[in-house]
Amino acid sequence: MNQTNLTISELQAAYSSGTLMPQTLIPELLGYAKQQEAVWIYLLNDAEIKPYLDGLKDKSPQTHPLYGVPFAIKDNIDLAGVPTTAACTEFSYTPEKSAFVVQKLIEAGAIPIGKTNLDQFATGLVGTRSPYGETPNAFNPDYISGGSSSGSAVALALGAVSFSLGTDTAGSGRVPACFNNLVGVKPSKGLLSTSGVVPACRSLDCVSIFALTATDANTVLQIAAQYDGEDCYSRENPLANQKPVLTKAQFSFAVPLAEQLAFFGDDAYQAEFNKAVAQLEALGGEKKVLDFSPMLQAAKLLYEGPWVAERYLATQEIIENNPQAMLDVTRTIIGSGNKPLATDCFSALYKLQALKKQADLVVEQVDFLVAPTAGRHYTRKEINENPIGYNSNLGYYTNFMNLLDFSAIAVPTGFTDNKMPFGITLFSFAMQDQRLLAYADKIMQQNQFTLGATNWPLNAEQTNTNDNAGFIDLAVCGAHLSGMALNWQLIERNALLIEKTSTAKAYQMYSVPGQVERPALIRSSGECQSFEVEVWRMPTEHFASFVKGIAEPLGIGKVELANGQFVSGFIAESTAQSGKNISEFGSWRKYIASK
């Protein structure tokens, strides 16, 4: 096994110190990868790797965040000059340019070392549906690795790369993560471009990220999440979904009703889920048990509804003109895709929209929702005996995510008695990827498991929130208070409420009229009192845009708190004294309530 710790931070530190060089590491990893059974479809040779290594000559770990970082690419995602097969030789083509996401990662210094095995045409959650062989689980080859992104998950778990790319239409970026002790990011739809990706269901497809840690996943996501004008499904990454994000000391999460939990006879997985929920509570989580029926009903639409027609459309040339090129199980599943009528499609879309409304009402009640990533871990023998039925069971908790436009992160939380990995999925509304990754990191820091199937330790990379370390504490006293009219401006900038307190008895407050009435806090030498304030911790990268929106006579200065501490906060020019003096209320909230 490769002994070099390939987590991005460790690798960059080694490169920066000069104890390791990409020119020596990458050939070693290629040699190691060649020993892995049914993991790779194509590994780059020395001549093909050379341009990527040569491209590092004018770069460094200080200028390029993925400098010399090796990664794997699922073989339904294009890499320039290398065949894309989607695990079907007859389908193979050689692209002239790389997929948009791959190119962005390469520009950041990452080194692709090969294309990985997958369930043919990304149809499956098992990792056994490939003419290139069944990809064995990284912990026990008798068990499935999970699919369709099987090779990408196992290559990473075995320590051949630092991260890998998969795709996730119905769970393919989460189930393999669960089965191989990895973080699996199923990003919000459209956040990562699908230009240069062989479609499965084009309206639902996501490029997914496998990482050893939530921190690594975050690093890759922020580089890859760039808008692609050539992808009609591409979406801008909003300000609130950009790093850094802080977790709450007290948070809420939801789990399904007891009767909605399905483990398909796997008592070990049920026990591990119960442990994971208990751990979330111990970390400060308030558990709510909510009705997940809108999600579970939506999940059934994916294969029982007309969306299978998208898979048929994506493979139409092969399935109509050369059907024998497909594996029997793949052809059976996709072959039914020419049967739905247009009326079936619209009927399903109406039903999905209704379920989306219901599901959103559930999601908005908590900070995030929690489910097992998979309900059971099957052996390869079991899957081969019932390839379609058991595969469907694996999608029980995953199939609804893209249909309902949710973001989701699979995170390891434990091991069964027979030393097989287990994990949960955190999910919420679209564009909550960063927030979910922050909680995933919180879980991982608590568990301190070794990474993937390696013996590499999880190093603490907790966010530093001290002064000048990327955050600023801001005291607000008026319309930005929790629940007030402008509080959303803090929320969208990933600010976190850290304290409810009051000012020193040194201020007066005036009402400033306008489209949104605002308070003016003025320090005075006369008769003064204290006022209700909240202190919010905001990433400094968002502070400038926040200050830009502040209209005179208000501004940002230093506000003295009741404990004598000075923090940045809202103050006002003396001209604000022409407004109504509302100091008697001692609180903007009380003043508004009195009107």
Amino acid at 353: Q
Amino acid at 585: F
229 exposure class (CB count in 10 Å sphere: 0-12, 13-18, 19+): exposed
C-alpha separations of 322 from 90, 103, 314 in Å: 8, 32, 14
Amino acid at 19: T
Active-site residue (options: 74, 104, 115, 189): 74
Q: Are 176 and 145 in contact (CB under 8 A)?
A: yes
Amino acid at 292: F
Name 259's Cβ contacts closer than 8 Å, sequence gap at least 6. Answer: none
Active-site residue (options: 130, 150, 164, 172): 172
First to last CA, the chain: 70
- Which of 245, 255, 244, 243 minimizes the C-alpha distance to 285? 255
How far is it, in rounded angstroms, from Cα 21 to Cα 36? 23
C-alpha separations of 22 from 15, 55, 199, 336 in Å: 8, 11, 33, 48
- Which of 236, 232, 364 minimizes the C-alpha distance to 288? 364
Which DSSP category does 317 fall into? Answer: H
**What's the number of CA atoms in the CB half-sphere (13 Å) around residue 10?**
16
74 in active site? yes
For residue 506, count other CB atoms closer than 10 A to its CB. Answer: 16
Cis omega before residue 148 (within 30°)? Answer: yes
How far is it, in rounded angstroms, from Cα 69 to Cα 110? 5
Active-site residue (options: 98, 130, 145, 148): 148
Q: Note the Cα 41 to chain centre separation in Å.
A: 26
Q: Which residues of 191-208 are buried (b: 16+ CB within 10 A; e: fewer)?
A: bbbbbbbbbbbbebbbbb
Q: Which two tokens stand for residue 136?
A: 């064995």
Provide the annotated active-site residues: 74, 148, 172
